[in-house]
A and B are shown apart, each in its own frame.
Chain A
Amino acid sequence: MTDLEARIGGLTLPNPVMTAAGCGGTGRELGRFFDVARLGALVTPSITPQPRAGRPAPRLTETPSGVLNAAGLQGPGIEAFLSRDLPWLAEREARVIVSIAGGSVGEYAEVARLLGDAPGVAAVEVNTSCPNAEDRGSMFAAHPSAAAGLVRAVRASTPRRLPVLAKLSADVTDIVGVAMACADAGADGLSMINTLHGMAIDTTTLRPRLAGVTGELSGPAIRPVAVRCVYQVHAALPEVPIVGTGGIRTGLDALEFVLAGASAVAVGTVLLHDPSACARILRELEGALKERGIDRLADVVGLAHKPAGTHFRRIDPNVGLAVAGDTVGAGGAEPIEQETTQ
């Protein structure tokens, strides 16, 4: 039995596979395809202080191995979330990480404060990619100081028992600098990456494909960018837990993020394609770990940073089966026969 437990600050999850903010709906939508309590955690869409109608349609367009969207954080606002969506999730014993958003530091802090009293919240994730109305619409995530100020305010308004995660944007020159600033400001973990800014133009109508003109790119198209960010930040801050996000489609994609330094992973855009993706990815991840002779997911977090050839079993590309001779290191404590009984 592979130990899939994932730890993010004070939060322990039975498995590392979560939904990414804004891709898993309120829980009800995916709950029609599988039991939401089986998720490592469900990350909610970003909750704002007031209800938001979002952006006009068309809001979403398909791009190669990705989607570009400008939905504009349509959502019911914190009050309706607390009275309607959160109780539904709590009733099903889902672990809920609430993503929060706002237009100013004060708005984020207000949402965090209201969440602190609500039963059924496992952690708070700060969506730092919103424009700051108090700073000429500049994105919080774009500047280490702005991101840190936001995280500090949310941390101060959130009860100690709830971990606060900062969700970072990769649309910055130096994501490590932003990550360090957020960690110093009290973030218990980092979630990365958010969508990348993009645009698509319809060559038939000769106009932008989205009503919002530009949009946010997500899906497997951005995965290498996300893996790079997780790798760089884990190298700089090995003690800070990371939730890896960005185009995860299979168990092996999830493993890639773990090897780069993620303690858990969040599945986003692929949920549009496959509503039961989380359950499948978890199954595939467990299989992939077994195949490599890994008993504990936590043992391989950030493994790609270590010198090659010293850890666990590698898959021979020609045979596709494990090469037992390679098994050294933490997994080597187990008898080899047991690992090769696959």
Chain B
Amino acid sequence: MTDSPVAPVQVPGTVLTIRRTGAYHTITLMAPGIAERFRPGQFAALAVGGEQSSMLTRRCFFVREVKPDYGGTVEIVFAVRGAGTRWLAALRPRDILDVAGPLGRPFPLPRHPVRCVLVGEGYSAAALFPLAAVLRQRECPLHFVLGGADSDHVYGTRAARRDGDSTSVVTEDGSLGHRGRPEDLVAAVIEEVGADVVYACGPTETLRAVSRIAAGNDLPVQVAVEEPMSCGTGVCLACVLPVIDDEGVTHMARSCVEGPVFRGERVRWDDLGTIPFDAYGAPRSLLPGNFS
């Protein structure tokens, strides 16, 4: 099991602040133990609805920032999508909820200063900022490409302009920056800055396109997937993707434990939502001689 290096903690988290950021919500929790264990790309799993909640699955979100204040704070960004996230958005300072984290495999980091392109679409772009902070320390030039449906759905433009050497913004309706999708700009940015590595997070379509562009340029690409997770800890086997391992064998890999960060070229994007026939343990009854 490739996994986060340090065991996570499960602690009661106290809401410090909650605020709107465009179309999204940003919540800062006092959750001791998570900050010092956290590495960029990891996420936190929140229990929603209180102690007697009828909503049993956890809501998992990338960690935007950790700070050592108050024994450790964690900031996450989320969009209201249903009853659980509506409950989260209605939280007020001093409210308490159960938090598990940090979870998942973090972004691998370069040893030497390399030119990085960081692509993010929607609220998942939050995962790029702790990564950017670490890359900055290693003196890597950073070039952001941020996108979303409209200006409200692009996350982190201000932070990107502050942290990055360049920032390109793209919206589908053209209300902010270029009109189009992030992948429309990625090839040009890669070429212009002479990128050595690409990091991306966002919806599947974006990651698929960015992985293809990076692979076409022979660049390593690390993607953090937004796959819906139910437990975040690896027990429920719900968030699987077909991913090719070092031996070339496709496994149904859990986004929460083997991911959420994968090498982009190893994910079989075109086979999402299926069990590829050649996957490890795929049903074999269609092959001759395998009826038991």
Q: How far is the CB of B111 from chain A (nearest CB, A)?
A: 28
Q: Which of B100, B251, B272 contacts A275 (CB 8 A)?
A: B100
Q: Is B261 interfacial (CB 8 A cutoff)?
A: no
- Which residues of A have CB within 8 Å of B273? 56-58, 211
Q: Is A214 interfacial (CB 8 A cutoff)?
A: no
User: A67, B230: Cβ atoms under 8 Å?
Assistant: yes
User: B58, A59: Cβ atoms under 8 Å?
Assistant: no
Between B237, B252, B284, the greatest number of chain A beta carbons within 10 A of the residue's beta carbon is seen for B237
Contact with A along B215-234 (1 / 0, CB 8 A): 00000000000011011011
Contact with B along A8-36 (1 / 0, CB 8 A): 00000000000000011100111011000
User: A57, B238: Cβ atoms under 8 Å?
Assistant: yes
Which residues of A40-83 have CB atoms within 8 Å of chain B's CB atoms? 50-60, 62, 64-67, 69, 71, 74-77
Between-chain CB contacts (< 8 Å), 12 pairs:
A33-B8, A57-B227, A57-B238, A60-B57, A60-B236, A62-B55, A66-B56, A74-B237, A272-B56, A272-B236, A273-B56, A275-B231
Interface of A is mostly: loop
- Which residues of A have CB within 8 Å of B241? 57
Contact with A along B94-124 (1 / 0, CB 8 A): 0000101000000000000000000000000
Q: Is B15 interfacial (CB 8 A cutoff)?
A: no
CB closest residue in chain B, given A48:
B281
- Which residues of A have CB within 8 Å of B281? 50-54, 74-77
Q: Is A271 interfacial (CB 8 A cutoff)?
A: yes
- Which residues of B have CB within 8 Å of A157? none
Assembled-state Cα–Cα distance A30/B272 (Å) = 27
Q: Is A269 interfacial (CB 8 A cutoff)?
A: yes
CB closest residue in chain A, given B55:
A62
User: B54, A64: Cβ atoms under 8 Å?
Assistant: yes
Assembled-state Cα–Cα distance A219/B231 (Å) = 14
Assembled-state Cα–Cα distance A29/B274 (Å) = 25
Q: How far is the CB of B246 from chain A (nearest CB, A)?
A: 16
- Which residues of A have CB within 8 Å of B54? 64-65, 220
Q: How far is the CB of A103 from chain B (nearest CB, A)?
A: 6
Q: How far is the CB of A275 from chain B (nearest CB, A)?
A: 5
Q: How far is the CB of A169 from chain B (nearest CB, A)?
A: 20
User: A53, B279: Cβ atoms under 8 Å?
Assistant: yes
User: A58, B228: Cβ atoms under 8 Å?
Assistant: yes
Interface of B is mostly: loop
Which residues of B275-291 have CB atoms within 8 Å of chain A's CB atoms? 275, 279-284
Report how many residues on chain A are interfacial, defined by Cβ distance under 8 Å: 46
Assembled-state Cα–Cα distance A200/B210 (Å) = 34
Q: Is A239 interfacial (CB 8 A cutoff)?
A: no
Which residues of B234-257 have CB atoms within 8 Å of chain A's CB atoms? 234-241, 251-252, 257
Q: Is A274 interfacial (CB 8 A cutoff)?
A: yes
Q: Is B1 interfacial (CB 8 A cutoff)?
A: yes
User: A29, B235: Cβ atoms under 8 Å?
Assistant: yes
Q: Is B168 interfacial (CB 8 A cutoff)?
A: no
Known interface pairs A53-B280, A133-B292; A59-B10 also in contact (CB < 8 Å): no
- Which residues of A have CB within 8 Å of B140? none
User: A53, B237: Cβ atoms under 8 Å?
Assistant: no
Assembled-state Cα–Cα distance A54/B236 (Å) = 12
- Which residues of A have CB within 8 Å of B251? 53
Contact with B along A74-94 (1 / 0, CB 8 A): 111100000000000000000
Assembled-state Cα–Cα distance A74/B257 (Å) = 15
Assembled-state Cα–Cα distance A23/B57 (Å) = 13
User: B275, A274: Cβ atoms under 8 Å?
Assistant: no
User: B234, A272: Cβ atoms under 8 Å?
Assistant: no
Q: Is A141 interfacial (CB 8 A cutoff)?
A: no
User: B100, A53: Cβ atoms under 8 Å?
Assistant: no
- Which residues of A have CB within 8 Å of B227? 57
Known interface pairs A53-B279, A57-B273, A103-B292; A270-B239 also in contact (CB < 8 Å): no
User: A273, B58: Cβ atoms under 8 Å?
Assistant: yes
Contact with B along A196-225 (1 / 0, CB 8 A): 000000000000000100000001100000
Assembled-state Cα–Cα distance A108/B272 (Å) = 31
Assembled-state Cα–Cα distance A87/B236 (Å) = 22
Q: Which of B56, B280, B283, B292 contacts A269 (CB 8 A)?
A: B56
User: A71, B237: Cβ atoms under 8 Å?
Assistant: yes
- Which residues of A have CB within 8 Å of B236? 23, 60, 67, 69, 71, 272
User: A32, B233: Cβ atoms under 8 Å?
Assistant: yes
Contact with A along B45-58 (1 / 0, CB 8 A): 00100000111111
Assembled-state Cα–Cα distance A58/B272 (Å) = 10
Q: Is B90 interfacial (CB 8 A cutoff)?
A: no
Q: How far is the CB of A81 from chain B (nearest CB, A)?
A: 12
- Which residues of A have CB within 8 Å of B188? none
CB closest residue in chain A, given B272:
A57
- Which residues of B have CB within 8 Å of A53? 251-252, 275, 279-283
User: B47, A74: Cβ atoms under 8 Å?
Assistant: no
